[in-house]
Amino acid sequence: MSEDCIFCRIVDGEIPARVVYEDADVLAFLDANPLAPGHTLVVPKAHHETLRDVPPAGGESLFAALHSLTPVVEDAVDADASNVAFNNGEAAGQEVPHVHGHIIPRFDGDGGRPVHAVAGDRPELSEDELDAIADDIADAVDE
């Protein structure tokens, strides 16, 4: 628990939230400033800033909760689809430094954008550069 973390304080029950799911490792609650009806945040109960800080078991329970909750949230608000995403780090727009997945219900014709809209200008990458990046990632995964 981090004393000055809003989401730790929600996990601890110090700050009220509309909790929709809880298990030993994960809490899910409605976003206070929703982008759509049903906008839900899914957080590990332990304080970790970004996904890279979450240990493997924490990642499994976090994904399991996102996986089971997403269709339930969609159905609850009669959504046609959803975006499920993390702002993972400050440069990616993360404002609350306690890792959280967003489940954002989407509706036909809602005027929203796909996740492709979140990044800056598309880079121009040659075939060689793409090969090198793929190799670097694959090699690092093997280590």
**Residues binding Zn ion (CB under 5 A):** 2, 5, 7-8, 47, 98
- Which span sits near ligand 5GP by CB under 6 A: 47-55, 56-64, 94-102, 120-128? 94-102
In angstroms, rounded to a whole number, what is the distance separating the alpha carbons of residues 123 and 99?
A: 27
Smallest gap from Cβ 44 to Zn ion, in A, equals 9
In angstroms, rounded to a whole number, what is the distance separating the alpha carbons of residues 84 and 49?
A: 18
Smallest gap from Cβ 131 to ligand 5GP, in A, equals 33
Residue identified by tokens 């060689």 is: 128
User: Quick check: 73 and 66 in contact, CB under 8 A?
Assistant: no
In one letter, which amino acid is 74?
A: E
Smallest gap from Cβ 7 to ligand 5GP, in A, equals 8
Q: Is there a catalytic annotation at residue 67? A: no
96 lines the binding site for ligand 5GP (CB under 6 A):
yes
User: Quick check: 62 and 44 in contact, CB under 8 A?
Assistant: yes
**Local structure of 84: helix, strand or coil:** strand
Name which of Zn ion, ligand 5GP, none residue 81 binds, using a CB cut-off of 5 to 8 Å depending on partner kind: none
* Torsion angles phi and psi, residue 87, rounded to 5: -85, 100
CA nearest neighbour of 91 among 123, 127, 118, 122? 118
Name which of ligand 5GP, Zn ion, none residue 96 binds, using a CB cut-off of 5 to 8 Å depending on partner kind: ligand 5GP
- 90 vs 131, which CB is nearer to ligand 5GP? 90
Q: Which residues bind ligand 5GP (CB under 6 A)?
A: 6, 15, 17, 29-33, 41, 87, 93-96
